[in-house]
Structure 1
Amino acid sequence: MKTVRLGIIGMGAQGGYYAEFLTKGKIKNMVIGAICDIDPDKKATCKERYPDIPFYDNYIDMLDSGNVDAIVTCVPHYLHPEMGINALKRNIHALVEKPAGVYTKQVKELNEFAASKPELTFGIMFNQRTNPLYQKVKEIIDNGEIGNIRRTNWIITTWWRPQGYYDQSEWRATWGGEGGGVLVNQAPHQLDLLQWICGMPKKVYSNVKYGYQRNIVVEDEVTTMLDYGNGATGVFITCTHDVVGTDRFEILGDKGKVVIDDSKKVTIKRLTKPESELSSSLSWADVMKIFRGQGLSDIYSEEVLEFESVWGAQHIAVMENFAANIVEGTPLLAPGSDGIHGVTLANAIHLSSWLGTEIEIPLDEELY
């Protein structure tokens, strides 16, 4: 196979973007094979815009048509595992949107079925993993440049959504439609990046507000404490009601610190000696000099890197990588099996807030 025929399930905003990328030839080794949506209006629009592309109002019919080699699921979160499994059953490659599902139990079923089909490609749209900024940060952490992690702090409140955003659809910001709020809609990329770069915590304890500043039933404000089980701790904060928003991710190690601002700038401070050695060797007089801003070059060096992000480029990169895996065997940047980690974190954060207690990971799926 030299060209992957992709079936797009769901022609909302995201599905529409993918169709545009493909028709403009922006994705190597991939074309549109078919489109599926249950909305009659979408059918009329697609017939006009993509007259030569087969259209289906039932995704099973599309899977059985012989017109697609792979699918992408641009549908409500609950449906991702079901559609992924049904595609793989028919020997069709599956790329699921984030999050991989709503419950770890259903995502685990998807992962287990995908594992039984190793000849097929199973990916997830974690497009931020293709972001050069986060790839660089992961490289720094993996190489031990700032030593062992002691603390992580991420405040990501740039998800401002007015009430009109929630009122545009009956399924949006509902338990039955989306399965949650900011944790499953806006922040899955950050939950994935957090564990991809820093590892999964062993415990979480959260304070979550439901319908705090918006007329919705799911969460719009989250503050979570993370315990990595080795002494390292973390804080993750997100919300949808901060109109001026903050995006700042700090990773403190025993040999330095990484600070990411606005997902555009990375500041790396590398200590000349591990912090424990500085603690035991520096005098109080040395410390006072540091407080006055003197002799800092003897303590650490600083490197600042700036990155530009073009919207759409990272989605295209995931799709190209997915196609390259099918055609050439190129390793996946975002294997579908990794999707369970972010869902685990979201489930644990919800459960902690409902029970008012610390939750160990892996969590009790039946209790959730």
Structure 2
Amino acid sequence: MRRCAEIFRAFLMLGLTSFGGPIAHLGYFRTEFVERRRWLSDAAYGDIVALCQFLPGPASSQVGFAIGLLRGGYAGALAAWVAFTLPSAILLAVLAGVGFALDNTIGQGVVSGLKIVAVAIVAQAVWGMARSLCPDRTRSAIAVLAVLIVVGFGGPGGQVFAILTGAIAGYSFCRSGVAEAARDIAHPVTRRVGILALVAFVLLLIGLPVLASAAPSRLIDLFDVFYRAGALVFGGGHVVLPLLESEVVRSGWMSAGDFLAGYGAAQAVPGPLFTFSAYLGTLLGGVSGALVALVAIFVPGFLLLVGVLPYWASLRQNAWAPALMRGTNAAVVGILGAALYDPVWTAAITGSSAFALALVCFVMLTVWKVAPWIVVVVSAAGGLLISVA
């Protein structure tokens, strides 16, 4: 219990102060747990990061979960996740609950600014991911193909098809023939537990849509939607945007404006971007909806992590494994690029003033390297000025 309390305190401090997104979170984790606390070696930390980037799900939260698992077993993993996730989840749920999108000039101006900053943030994510994940013609072609698939098919089905197509293309055209050296990570997960976790992941992925159809319930529907989104997110937290938008906006559950305003607000709080689900869950089902959405979106990534962990050393020796991920990540760039236009751009850029503000925010993020939460505040103030001008 003392060790779990230690884990909880360490991750709670990070949950309160870790601004900047998943890449920044990984830097914070390394500083805290490798350099300062020396809970694990640099090599072990690198292996954990490689595994979590290989799997779908929120990479930084999976890394934190894995560190808690190695340090304090399953209770330590739960303590790490709760502590890192709780601060931003509470903040976003409160914002949704008090209805910060007030029906007046001030409220609508702030919401307009939050939608505009979402354009800059997603554009920065697309630009950065394209540079790192599509560095050659083959992967650039896969990204373009993913855009065409998403535009042609639409909805969650088109996104899943784009990811599968990217994986197949990566396996066919992106193999380097160089496998990584085997190096096991000391962990408490047995192979039997790993198999059970993988079985649970598949059963939930297949069974939840059936259950939602057989027993209509808003909470079951929410668990189904957010579980599927968490199971299909490759390449970082921003990629959850098009997946969730297809489910909650195109289905008519909420407006694109409310969705993007919450996404913009999520950039101004510390911790994992996946806590955006708490905002959406609150709008769709109150406190119980927030809890269901929050748990559901994280569960698949954690099940996959526990399931693959016992087999990671042998899996990484196969040259096809990184090839699949190269193709999948390239497809993810295309999916996020398509989302940048619709719904992000179409819902937020309604005139030349909005475009100018979005451009300023983009420059602040990419050239001036201003902290995202500061850019969010600037955009909210800019949206307010535009609304009263």
Q: TM-score, normalised by structure 1?
A: 0.26
More helix by share: 2
Structure showing greater relative contact order (alpha-carbon pairs closer than 8 Å, 6 or more residues apart): 2
Larger of the two Rg values belongs to structure: 1
| Structure with the higher strand share, 1 or 2 | 1
- What is the TM-score of this pair, normalised by structure 2? 0.25
